[in-house]
Amino acid sequence: MFDNLRDLSEVQPPAKEAVSLPAEDYEIPGGGRILGMTPGQRLVISILLFFAVLLIGTMCLLVTQRVILIL
């Protein structure tokens, strides 16, 4: 069963041929989108992330009593 195991490991698979495209035929994968999102979706995500950081920072300041909340 394991008699020709060493011979099997020495066999190299055939190399794939390189495909070269002209520069004008090359397209960016995903159509230039980052993580598959449109610019509007990225804007909404960045605004939500900003408010989350703002909220967490404010809560940390309140917990450490660096800022006093006056009502």
- Is residue 6 domain-resident? no
- Is residue 61 domain-resident? yes
71 lies in which domain range? 37-71
Instruction: Specify the 3-state DSSP secondary structure of 51.
Output: helix
Condensed to tens digits (0 to 9), the pLDDT of residues 34-63 reads 788 888 999 999 999 999 999 999 999 999
- Is residue 58 domain-resident? yes
Supply the pLDDT for residue 10. 62
Token pair for 13: 């698979």
What predicted TM-score, i.e. pTM, was given to this entire model?
Answer: 0.53
CB 17 within 8 A of CB 23: no
What is the domain count for the chain? 1
- Is residue 22 domain-resident? no
Exposed e or buried b per residue across 60-69, where buried means at least 16 C-beta atoms within 10 angstroms of its C-beta: eeeeeeeeee
- Is residue 4 domain-resident? no
Residue 19 DSSP class: -
Poorest-pLDDT segment among 4-18, 25-39, 48-62: 4-18
Supply the pLDDT for residue 37. 87
